[in-house]
Structure 1
């Protein structure tokens, strides 16, 4: 275990070293934010969920023992669970409002958004629409290997599946995405 490895930083954080945890945050916060932004298509939700992921990591730091040198696969898995929980929570809330006949059409207030973020939101929606056409298992692989930038081995750890399964799902996903005329081919991410 090298002094600057994620595993050593995690161990130090588990012992109460907040600076070590801060270094882990600095290393991985952008990757987690990007993963969540692509998952939610909302920069504000991604920011909130990124904070929630690292709060959860801080709270559980003494309970979790990393099985790899990188904390990123565990953080990505935690981000995935956090996003799913948030989606379920919002879904329950919307159903409750609809049942009470209070659900009104909601239009985004574009006055508060920066022009560049509007373009980013539109692009991510198009990408999400194309991704939704894939089977769920292929969607997860694209999100991890292409969008989050994990290598195939790290994706296997994050999903708790064999490496060969990751490779075959990624290959099928690439083929399906190439077949969609409105979505460019996905480059090899190994």
Structure 2
């Protein structure tokens, strides 16, 4: 099926793109969410990914296996561009007078979707400490389940680079997550009473009743 589908996608068959969407839109959406950390942004990336796939259809090799690695590679590039646009937008907003704004909270949004919301929220915060290249290889190999060769195809990298980058990313994410969880568990320090504060307070109360 995939070889035939590849040829039809390459030739611009609209029905083939309908089949492509039906087969892989969930995978593209989940991958986009893992890269953006935002459900709404993931929907935008998913839609843009299939538009970009149509534009790049002539680059599809007619021979090969599943088109999933190629699509996830397109989604990765689309998410990069979307994140750059979002950063520019935030920079513009940052220069404007501040008003009342509501910031989406990833942990609250995901609390009803997973059993261990606390750890997931810690992982999501820790992901910000990774380099973009590390986040991408984690999203492809760990969460989307691509093999090294498929991830290398999606990212346009040698397989050895994917292996080493994934190993570093896993170790770094594990360390950052544990540090985040440890900070979250630490009790807030109780306010210290400065010596000598009590006496003046008592005297002031006594003086007020004279």
State the TM-score bracket (shorter-chain normalisation).
Answer: 0.7 to 0.9
Task: State the partner residue of 2:21.
Answer: 25
Task: State the partner residue of 2:90.
Answer: 94
**1:144 match: secondary structure:** helix
Q: Write the distance in 2 (CA, Å) between the matches of 1:120 and 1:181.
A: 13
The structure with more radius of gyration: 2
Most deviating of 34-43 and 16-25:
16-25
Task: State the partner residue of 1:12.
Answer: 8
Unaligned runs of 5+ in 1: 184-190
Query: 1:122: how far off?
Result: 6.7
After superposition, give the CA deviation of every residue in 1:94-126 in whole Å (9 maximum; x if it has no partner). Answer: 2223323256532449xxx79735989876542
CA contact under 8 A between 2:122 and 2:177: conserved in structure 1?
no
Task: State the partner residue of 1:79.
Answer: 75
Unaligned runs of 5+ in 2: 180-210
Query: 1:87: how far off?
Result: 1.7
Residue 99 to residue 174, structure 1, CA distance change in 2 (3 Å): closer
Please show how residues 34-113 of structure 1 align to structure 2 within 5 Å. Answer: 34-61=30-57, 63-66=58-61, 68-101=64-97, 104-108=100-104
Instruction: Verify: 1:152 aligned to 2:153, yes or no.
Output: no
After superposition, give the CA deviation of every residue in 1:120-151 in whole Å (9 maximum; x if it has no partner). Answer: 98765422222333444433221110012111
Task: State the partner residue of 1:187.
Answer: none
Residue 41 to residue 162, structure 1, CA distance change in 2 (3 Å): same
Tell me the matched-pair count. Answer: 176
Q: Write the distance in 2 (CA, Å) between the matches of 1:120 and 1:76.
A: 27
Question: How large is the Cα RMSD of the aligned pairs?
Answer: 3.1
After superposition, give the CA deviation of every residue in 1:137-181 in whole Å (9 maximum; x if it has no partner). Answer: 433221110012111101111222211222222233333344456
Q: Write the distance in 2 (CA, Å) between the matches of 1:139 and 1:20.
A: 31
After superposition, give the CA deviation of every residue in 1:60-119 in whole Å (9 maximum; x if it has no partner). Answer: 32x22237422222211211121121122222222223323256532449xxx7973598
